[in-house]
Amino acid sequence: MSSRNTGLTRQDVELLAPAGDWDCMRAAVANGADAIFFGVEKFNARARANNFRMDELPEIMAFLHSYGVKGFLTFNILVFEDELRDAQELIEVCIDSGVDAVIVQDLGLVKLIRELSPDFPIHGSTQMTITSPEAVEFVKPWNMERVVLGRENNLKQIQVIGEQAKLPMEVFVHGALCVSYSGQCLTSEMWGGRSANRGECAQACRLPYDLIVDGEQKPMGDVAYLLSPKDLAAIDIMPELIEAGVTSFKIEGRMKTPEYVANVVSKYRKAIDLYFDGDDARPSKEEIRELQQSFSRGFTHGFLEGTNNKQLVEGTFPKSRGVYLGRVEKVLRDGVVCKLEAPLKRGDGIVFDAGDPTKKEEGGRVYDWRRQGVKQEGEAGEGWIIDIVPGRNDVDLRRVHVGDRIWKTSDPALDKRLRQTYETEKPYRVFPVYVRAVGHAGGLLSTFWTDVQKGTMVRVDSELELEIAQKRPMDAALLEEQFGRLGGTVFQLEKLDTELHGDVILPMRELNGIRRRAVELLAAERPKPPVYRAVPQPAAGAGCAGSRRIVDLRRLRVYQAVPGSGRSRSGRRQTYCSGYAAHSYAR
Residue 417's pLDDT is 97
Rounded Cα gap, residues 94 and 96, in angstroms: 6
Rounded Cα gap, residues 257 and 277, in angstroms: 30
Show Cβ contacts of residue 426 under 8 Å, excluding neighbours closer than 6 positions.
488
Residue 187's pLDDT is 86
The C-alpha torsion from 406 through 409 and 412 to 413, rounded to 10°, is 60
Which is more confident, 435 or 529? 435
Residue 547's pLDDT is 31
Does the structure show a pLDDT above 60 at 319?
Answer: yes
Residue 210's pLDDT is 92
Amino acid at 59: E
Amino acid at 177: L
The C-alpha torsion from 100 through 539 and 141 to 79, rounded to 10°, is 70
Nearest to 468 by CA among 442, 498, 439, 500: 442
> Tens digit of pLDDT for each residue in 163-186?
998 899 999 999 999 888 877 888
Rounded Cα gap, residues 82 and 436, in angstroms: 57
User: Secondary structure of 126-164 in the HEC alphabet?
Assistant: HHHCCCCHHHHHHHHHHCCCEEECCCCCCHHHHHHHHHH
Residue 474's pLDDT is 94
End-to-end CA distance of the chain: 48
CB 388 within 8 A of CB 362: no
Residue 184's pLDDT is 80
Rounded Cα gap, residues 272 and 276, in angstroms: 7
> Tens digit of pLDDT for each residue in 432-477?
999 999 999 999 999 999 999 999 999 999 999 999 998 899 999 9
Model confidence at 2, pLDDT cuts 50, 70, 90, reads: low
How far is CA 416 from each of CA 20, 73, 419, 420, 451, rounded to the nearest angstrom? Answer: 20, 29, 5, 6, 34
Q: Which helix (H) or strand (E) holds 90?
A: helix 84-97
> Tens digit of pLDDT for each residue in 176-218?
998 888 778 888 888 888 877 777 788 889 999 999 999 999 9
Rounded Cα gap, residues 126 and 182, in angstroms: 6
Region of 411 (left: φ > 0; alpha: ψ -120 to 50; beta: rest) is: beta
Rounded Cα gap, residues 30 and 10, in angstroms: 18
Q: What are the backbone angles phi and psi of residue 194, rounded to the nearest 5°?
A: -115, 105
Which is more confident, 581 or 8? 8
Does the structure show a pLDDT above 70 at 549?
Answer: no
Residue 528's pLDDT is 92
Show Cβ contacts of residue 47 under 8 Å, excluding neighbours closer than 6 positions.
198, 199, 200
Report the pLDDT averaged over residues 507-529: 96
Report the pLDDT averaged over residues 104-128: 94
What's the chain's average pLDDT?
88
Model-level pTM? Answer: 0.88
Rounded Cα gap, residues 452 and 482, in angstroms: 20
**Count of beta carbons in the 10 Å neighbourhood of residue 477:** 10
Model confidence at 559, pLDDT cuts 50, 70, 90, reads: very low
Report the pLDDT averaged over residues 408-417: 97
β-pairing, 431-440 with 336-339? unpaired
> Tens digit of pLDDT for each residue in 338-353?
999 999 999 999 999 9
